[in-house]
């Protein structure tokens, strides 16, 4: 049975948008309450629509970015918002192992991420990761989407529950949330491992792609470990994080994950944001910004060149510290400030950690 108290109908909560015990829409999160009571487990819960529960086995990596990560080499992915004017030059793309394309971020309309991934791969030959949210699709649409991912030659997907439509400028939109991210991950493994749907019925086409999930150091370490373990059980093979501006919770979570014997590839999202208005908005998205970072930007706010330089060096230092804690760390570089700034940050990280 779905939890009627959860506005997203989560069976495997909480979602990544929960902060301080509250959902992004402002109500108390029932899953966080269970966690505080010591009753939240890493069990993968399926609804009655899933008529089969088949074994999720480890499988050989086919995509080069995942092969590299599993060989303990640092992987770099570039965030690429799916808009025509956002195509970077080939010289920039050559710096990255894959591009990662979001799915209607902040509940705003963009080009379909799978179509965009196909276009990028055809033009530039770079491997691609398409984000797919539960917010906009029921399980029938997801099955179709998964087959399309394989047919288009997209190398991987990031399966996430998705920002609530409360963030959208289109207030009349109703979210779907037929599944949560954990059930999406398991469904994707049914499709790619066995070629069947949630009923165990054979699909007309059996695609293959690798499956990624979200991880979030902004959530307390004990709770996030439960969420990560659950996603791994469901079939996740790599992770990309929420944006990070504070290294302390990152180090704490990485040590917790390593202590649990987990060695899955984790990519840390680094976005060189240095404008005060944008930084002050980050906590509304559940992103922690360290006092050190914010104070320094306030001090030099009238000199954009210094702000930019400080942001690049601060984030690169965080990347360096994370690499000293966890072997299979990688970096998911945000292009919010422009591709030139993303390139500058990537070069600085590579000069420090390789």
For range 95-120, the mean pLDDT:
94
Average pLDDT along the chain: 92
Residues 6+ apart with CB under 8 A from 288: 218, 245, 246, 249, 282
Q: Is 315 helix (H, G, I), strand (E, B) or coil?
A: helix
Domain borders along the chain are 30-41+49-353
For range 231-238, the mean pLDDT:
98
- DSSP code per residue over 312-338: HHHHHHHHHHHHHH-TTEEEEE--TT-
Q: What is the pLDDT of residue 2?
A: 41
For range 14-33, the mean pLDDT:
83
| Dihedral of alpha carbons 154, 97, 252, 283, sign | negative
Q: What is the pLDDT of residue 282?
A: 86
pLDDT band for 274, please (50, 70, 90 cuts). confident
Q: What is the pLDDT of residue 305?
A: 94
pLDDT band for 285, please (50, 70, 90 cuts). confident
Q: What is the pLDDT of residue 227?
A: 97
Task: Please determine, for residue 312, whether its predicted confidence score (pLDDT) is greater than 90.
Answer: yes
Q: What is the pLDDT of residue 27?
A: 82
Task: Please determine, for residue 1, whether its predicted confidence score (pLDDT) is greater than 80.
Answer: no
Share of the chain above pLDDT 90, in %: 75
Quote the tokens at residue 352.
């420090």
Quote the tokens at residue 40.
């939240």
For residues 192 and 164, the answer to whether their CB atoms sit within 8 Å is no
User: Which range has the worst mean pLDDT, 37-51, 164-178, 239-253?
Assistant: 164-178
Q: What is the pLDDT of residue 347?
A: 97
For range 115-128, the mean pLDDT:
95
Task: Please determine, for residue 232, whether its predicted confidence score (pLDDT) is greater than 50.
Answer: yes
User: Which range has the worst mean pLDDT, 100-114, 182-196, 320-334?
Assistant: 100-114
> 30-41+49-353: which CATH number, 3.20.20.220, 3.30.70.20, 3.30.460.80, 3.40.190.10?
3.20.20.220
């Amino acid at each position: 049975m779905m939890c009627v108290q959860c506005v997203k109908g989560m069976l495997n909560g909480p979602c990544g948008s929960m902060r301080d015990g509250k959902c992004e829409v402002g109500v108390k999160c029932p899953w966080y309450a269970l966690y505080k009571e010591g009753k939240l487990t890493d069990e993968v819960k399926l609804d009655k629509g899933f008529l089969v529960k088949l074994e999720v086995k480890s499988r050989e990596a086919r995509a080069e970015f995942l092969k590299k990560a599993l060989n303990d080499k640092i992987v770099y992915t570039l965030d690429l918002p799916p808009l025509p004017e956002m195509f970077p030059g080939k010289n920039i793309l050559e710096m990255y192992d894959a591009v990662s394309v979001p799915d209607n971020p902040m509940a705003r309309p963009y080009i379909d991420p799978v179509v965009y991934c196909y276009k990028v791969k055809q033009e530039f030959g770079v491997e691609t990761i398409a984000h797919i949210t539960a917010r906009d699709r029921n399980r029938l649409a997801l099955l179709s989407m998964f087959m399309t991912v394989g047919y288009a030659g997209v190398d991987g997907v990031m399966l996430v529950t998705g920002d609530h439509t409360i963030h959208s400028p289109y207030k009349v939109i109703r979210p779907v949330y037929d599944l949560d991210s954990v059930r999406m991950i398991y469904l994707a493994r049914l499709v790619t491992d066995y070629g069947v749907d949630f009923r165990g019925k054979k699909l007309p086409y059996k695609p293959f792609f690798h499956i990624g999930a979200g991880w979030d150091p902004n959530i307390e370490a004990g709770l996030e470990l439960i969420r990560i373990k659950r996603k791994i059980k469901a079939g996740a093979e790599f992770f990309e994080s929420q944006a990070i501006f504070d290294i302390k919770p990152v180090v704490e979570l990485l040590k917790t994950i390593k202590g649990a014997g987990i060695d899955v590839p984790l990519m840390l999202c680094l976005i060189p944001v240095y404008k005060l208005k944008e930084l002050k908005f980050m906590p509304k998205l559940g992103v922690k910004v360290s006092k050190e970072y914010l104070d320094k930007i306030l001090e030099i706010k009238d000199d954009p060149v210094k702000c930019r330089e400080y942001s690049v060096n601060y984030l690169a230092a965080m990347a360096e510290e994370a690499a000293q804690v966890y072997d299979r760390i990688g970096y998911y570089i945000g292009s919010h400030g422009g591709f030139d700034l993303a390139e500058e940050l990537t070069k600085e990280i590579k000069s420090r950690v390789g």
